[in-house]
Structure 1
Amino acid sequence: MRASIVISTKDKLSRLKLVLQALEPQVNHQVEVIIVFDGCNQSTMNRFNQIHFSFSPIKIVCETNVGRAVARNLGIKQAKGEIIIFLDDDRVPCPGFVQMHIDGHSEKCILYGERPDVFFSENEINELGNENDLSHVMETLKSRIVNKEDSNTAFIDPGKIFKWLNFLTGNISVEKKDIEKVGMFDESFKEWGQEDIDLGIRLFREKLPFKKDDHIVNFHLLHPSNFDIKEMKMKSLVNLKYMIKKYKKDTVLFLSLIILFIKYKLIGLSIDHNAYEYEQRFSKVKL
């Protein structure tokens, strides 16, 4: 079974380089990598074109920023694989990541893995990008995982109740024909947040089972914008309002989204409890 890895990127070249280097041993004639450059500046493009990888990624260049929904749809349309693997430009995949995604589709499903956060300064990321020993890179990433304090204290895991909450495009795969069947990403989402959850809702309605494999891991390289909680929360709430209107005729889903909106409004995003500490650490390192 062939697979297409779709990555949307916006001026995070040092992180993207590390992601692609981790993919090098995993790309073969059955696997293609599609990178959608979403309004990247010319400096980013020039520097990317000077980097050589063991495979040739397919490049889609958007001169202006079109947003993640449009960018990913462009990648899906170009994809030749039966399986679409969504990977972000700041999530470094573990060894065997691609093959585990492919093997996981022996039965029809939506397959997702683990997405631990890791903290590195920009200088440290550049150093990792120059490291020739990929196994050492992986061990270094594992050693810097950020522990989320609330992960073990929550009485209820919302993702177990509302399966579609697990559709996060940092580490998930689904058959291309199923994505096309439900209309792909809703391009009305222009800002950050919820466009992937929205697609997950529509796939869930098609009775596709969600399956998690904890062995499929990628490491999220935290960056300063992750700690702009006020901005992230505002954009997320705007998109949640849109979704509430979109699904107002589905009573159960409508009420579920209302609950999610209230949670985001009152409690905030999952990164909140780490925001101040890591924001301070970012301010003290050279980026």
Structure 2
Amino acid sequence: MSDALRCTVVIPTYNRSELLRHSLDSLTRQRMPANQFEVIVVDDGSTDDTADVATSFQDRLDLRYHYQPDEGFRAAAARNIGIADARSPICVFTDSGIMLHADNLNQHVASHQSTTGPTAVVAYIYGFSSDDTNIDVVRERLDVDDLDGSIARMQAKRECRDIRELFYDRYGEDLTRIPAPWQIFWTGNVSAQTTQLRAVGGFDEQFRTWGGEDLDLGYRLHLNGATFIFNRQAKAVHIPHEKAFDQSMRAATRNYHYMAEKYGSPVMRILAELPPRRFLDFNELAAAAI
């Protein structure tokens, strides 16, 4: 079967079994035939019924479940387990609580096939926002039993837009024209080539709090020659769930300082010192620093 695999979906999770159920359910509805992709769920030490939920999909998906003991936040290590276990040429990263449009995996693979050399794909997540009003609209609009219809309605009404829409409004959608496309390589819905992920060392497991481990990986993919592509049609929806946004951003800022020390580059020092609410200015400042 592995010879036919086109991509591997890697999902780290922790005590979010119901959100995971929705994510896996969306994978059962992919237009890509089920024997052409695999799913790797890596459990970061859950104490709920995550294992039962994951394995309950093994009759519908080519799914493998891994468990690592709860030793704190280890999403980077969890994703690295997925990269190491992947049997396909492309890893698609998503999270429990993200539901993928039926054409999502086809779109990721198409972007890789249309680009020469190593590629990193940034895709679109409806409802991914820090705006509570936007989150309330997602709750009203999202029908988990009609995901594609829900996305079509959000798209038609220009509602529940990805927070990075502000980025695309300013810089456009051709990520090859900006100096730091890795700034928006957020692992809710991205992909990269498995061989390159392994070549650059995967995720840095020194990240033990939320935020930055995906940018760190994106930066190394960029330095290693990856072409960054934005694919608006590789759509997904972020199911509203509780997250302390300000607390998360403080953790991310600490991680950005770690990255500045790790690389010692002017662009990373800018990232560490830039207030989170000014993320739109980063590429302009990066262009001046490079």
- Using structure 2 for the length normalisation, give the TM-score: 0.77
Structure 2 letter corresponding to 1:23: L
Select 2:94's aligned residue among 73, 84, 87. Answer: 87
CA distance in 2, matches of 1:153, 1:63: 39
1:117 and 2:127 correspond: yes
Q: Work out which of the residue numbers 57, 60, 64 in structure 2 matches 1:58.
A: 64
- Mapping for residues 72-83 of structure 1, pairs under 5 Å: 72-83=79-90
Pairwise CA distance, 1:176: 0.6
The counterpart of 2:187, out of the listed 169, 178, 181, is 169
Structure 2 CA distance for partners of 1:204 and 1:66, relative to 1, 3 Å: same
**Residue identity opposite 1:22 in structure 2:** S
Aligned equivalents of 1:257, 1:247: Cα separation in 2: 7
Question: 1:201-280 maps to which residues of 2 (within 5 A)?
Answer: 201-225=219-243, 228-248=244-264, 254-264=265-275, 267=277
Are positions 1:105 and 2:116 aligned together? no
CA–CA separation in structure 2 for the residues paired with 1:205 and 1:220: 29
- Counterpart in 2 of 1:281? none
> 2:166 aligned to 141, 151, 169, which one?
151
Q: CA deviation at 1:170?
A: 1.2
Q: Give 2:34's aligned amino acid.
A: N
Q: CA offset at residue 43 of structure 1?
A: 3.7
Secondary structure at the aligned position of 2:230 is classed as strand
SS of the residue corresponding to residue 225 of structure 2 reads: coil
Which deviates more, 60-69 or 111-120?
Answer: 111-120
Runs of 4 or more above 6 Å deviation: none
Q: Which runs of 5+ in 1 are unaligned?
A: 249-253, 271-287
Overall identity of the aligned pairs, in %: 24
**Structure 2 equivalent of residue 197 of structure 1:** 215
Q: Which amino acid aligns with 1:101?
A: H
Deviations 1:26-83 (A, max 9, x none): 2521200111111211344445556786225211112314511000001111111111
Alignment equivalent of 1:18, drawn from 17, 22, 30: 22
Q: 1:165 to 1:219 in 2, by over 3 A?
A: same
Contact 1:105 1:111 in 2 (8 A): yes
TM-score by length of 1: 0.77
Kindly indicate whether the alpha-carbon contact (under 8 Å) linking 1:21 and 1:53 is maintained by their aligned counterparts in 2.
Answer: no
Q: Root-mean-square deviation (CA), in Å? A: 3.1
CA shift, 1:260, in A, is: 2.0
- Within a 5 Å distance, the mapping from 1:40-59 to structure 2 comes to 40-46=46-52, 54-59=60-65
Corresponding residue number in structure 2 for 1:280: none
Which amino acid is 1:239 matched to?
N
Q: Give me the whole-angstrom Cα distance separating, in 2, the residues matched to 1:5 and 1:260.
A: 29
What are structure 2's unaligned runs of at least 5 residues? 129-133, 281-290
**C-alpha distance in structure 2 between counterparts of 1:243 and 1:84, whole Å:** 24
